[in-house]
Amino acid sequence: MSTRDRNSQRNHIGGGHILVIEDEQHLAAGLKYNLAAEGYEVTCLDNGPEAIALIERGDTAIDLVILDLMLPGMSGYHVCESLRSAGHEMPVLILSARTLAEDRARGFDVGADQYMMKPFDLDELLSRVAGLLRRRRRGGIGRAEPPPPPATFAFGEAKINFDTFEVTVGDQAVRLTSMEMKLLRYFVQNEGRMIPRSELLDNVWEMAPHASTRAPDQFMMRLRKTFEPDPGQPRHFLTIRDAGYRFVADPDAGET
């Protein structure tokens, strides 16, 4: 598909207001130029407190946040965590030079939807932005999706209320990020079925099925740490080598 065709397709979907929080002025300017060329409204800020204040005022709706981590005064981690704690659910795409696995894991822990490392491929960034905005607007309309999960679901020592986002494991309340809950919901909808990694990228993250990202692996680790008695020997959240993943609510069912 040509660049013009891609632009036409994205603009047909509709624009959106993107907040770029980046203190490197040349990078912020480049992002603003390329995002504006795709039909998006773009606001750039170079620090976290101003960004949080802008969103809290509500003068203008922000549809997506592109967030650097190494910001002056307040880290991007703190910015994302503050937004989620205040109940703001717009997609957050972290764009950072931090490359360690623990950096990515922490980004997901504080509520980021996606994590890209600098330097980045512009076409991949634009594709991820478009996918996140589609997911926010359409909620998967047009896909053949499995039936919705029940309002409540239990497995092992866990109890989940998908309506209220309340999760308990044993007698302990657990807080999941919106993306962790989305992934858990998809597993419950497809309980017992082997789910290809490409399907998760498409239906949960709304990324290209061949996208180069470790997000599914990172989130599987998070779910195992939260729900498995022994994360090193998972019984509910299984990886099927070279194939995908499977969620098993009752591993003992059918055993003699």
**CA pair distance 221, 231, nearest whole angstrom:** 8
Instruction: Give 89's pLDDT tier (boundaries 50, 70, 90).
Output: confident
Pick the closest to residue 248 from 223, 217, 213, 211 (CA basis).
223
For the beta carbon of residue 198, count every other beta carbon within 10 angstroms: 15
The structure's pTM equals: 0.58
- Is the CB of residue 165 less than 8 Å from the CB of residue 87? no
What is the pLDDT, as a whole number, of residue 2? 39
**CA pair distance 62, 70, nearest whole angstrom:** 21
**CA pair distance 248, 237, nearest whole angstrom:** 7
**CA pair distance 21, 43, nearest whole angstrom:** 9
Residues comprising the chain, all counted? 256
Mean pLDDT of 226-238: 94
In the sheet where 237-240 sits, what is the strand order? 195-196, 244-247, 237-240
What is the pLDDT, as a whole number, of residue 143? 38
**CA pair distance 112, 90, nearest whole angstrom:** 10
Strand-pairing partners, residue 41, are 17
For the beta carbon of residue 186, count every other beta carbon within 10 angstroms: 18
Instruction: Give 49's pLDDT tier (boundaries 50, 70, 90).
Output: very high
- Angle value at C-alpha 187, between 92 and 150, nearest 5 degrees: 100
Mean pLDDT of 126-148: 64
Give burial (CB, 10 Å; 0-12/13-18/19+) of 203.
buried
Give all domains of the chain, ordered by start, each with its CATH number: 3-138 (3.40.50.2300), 152-247 (1.10.10.10)
Which two tokens mark 13? Answer: 């979907």
What is the pLDDT, as a whole number, of residue 138? 54
pLDDT at 145 > cutoff 70? no
Strand-pairing partners, residue 160, are 153, 167
- Is the CB of residue 110 less than 8 Å from the CB of residue 77? yes
Pick the closest to residue 28 from 5, 50, 12 (CA basis).
50
